[in-house]
Amino acid sequence: MTREQYILATQQNNLPRTENAQLYPVGIYGWRKRCLYFFVLLLLVTMIVNLAMTIWILKVMNFTVDSPLVLQSDRNVTVNARNHMGQLTGQLTVGADAVEAQCKRFEVRASEDGRVLFSADEDEITIGAEKLKVTGTEGAVFGHSVETPHIRAEPSQDLRLESPTRSLIMEAPRGVQVSAAAGDFKATCRKELHLQSTEGEIFLNADTIRLGNLPTGSFSSSLPSSSTSRQTVYELCVCPNGKLYLSPAGVGSTCQSSSNICLWS
């Protein structure tokens, strides 16, 4: 036996021998394991219930990809907008009787080009549509003045400006023009119609000017009665108060002989 073998055999004999060594198991056992399984099962059940509730809410509220979003309420639906400080800056309320919007400025824009069709704020209301159409039987009612560069009726429709109980006033510093290019122009009033020019003249330019329902005077003439009955030409006379009347035309003026009509007025 060599020296190295002897030393190695001696060291092995000197090591203490442990008999019946205890082995300790590694892992979770007993009530800890049962609690862990219980919590895992509870988590799984909660996830399943949460998924089922989410699917039920999506189905009840009609949350789908292709259908519009519908918000329903027994009373009203209110949408609020707040700033970073939590202050209310805008509110939209849809109720059973009315739709109310509270904001600094309300705008309605076109879907194609984004231009403003209607806007309202504290200072003014702007309508940007190409045509403003009022279909009510009473038309449009304005409490104060109306400023517009052009008033036009619909094609094949009459344009009517009427004031049932008060006056109708149209004013412009450079004149008011009323034109009927393809029809008649008619002005009707219940009492009196005044045409007044303070610094200029009233110019009537037409092929025929007719003044209907004027009183006709009479005068004595040396012509036979048969000629008088066939009278077709008359003279237009004016009373001092401005009243117009017709007088049968003669060789000279017959207004003086028919001036008794001015006394009736």
| 10-14, 52-56, 92-96: the lowest-pLDDT one | 10-14
The answer to whether residue 53 sits within a structural domain is yes
Mean predicted lDDT score pLDDT of the chain: 80
| 37-46, 56-65, 94-103, 119-128: the lowest-pLDDT one | 56-65
The total number of structural domains that make up the chain:
1
Q: What is the pLDDT of residues 196-210, one digit of tens each?
A: 888 888 888 888 888
**What is the reported pLDDT for 120?**
92
Q: What is the pLDDT of residues 189-245, one digit of tens each?
A: 777 778 888 888 888 888 888 888 888 877 665 555 554 556 678 888 888 888 888
> What range defines the domain where residue 50 resides?
29-63
More confident residue, 125 or 151: 125
Query: By percentage, how much of the chain surpasses pLDDT 90?
Result: 19
The answer to whether residue 189 sits within a structural domain is no
The answer to whether residue 44 sits within a structural domain is yes
Distance CA 1, CA 172 (A): 140
Spatial neighbors of 72 by CB under 8 A, at least 6 apart, are none
**What is the reported pLDDT for 130?**
84
Q: What is the pLDDT of residues 16-51, one digit of tens each?
A: 555 555 666 666 778 888 898 999 999 999 999 999
The answer to whether residue 199 sits within a structural domain is no
Q: Strand, helix or coil at 259?
A: coil
**Helices and strands, counts by H and E, the chain:** 4, 8
The answer to whether residue 123 sits within a structural domain is no
Strand-pair category, 99-102 with 106-109: unpaired
Q: Residue 190 corresponds to which tokens in the numbers above?
A: 């219940």
Query: What pTM was computed for the model?
Result: 0.41
pLDDT tops 80 at residue 135: yes
Q: Residue 40 corresponds to which tokens in the numbers above?
A: 């895992």
**β-pair partners for 81:** 90
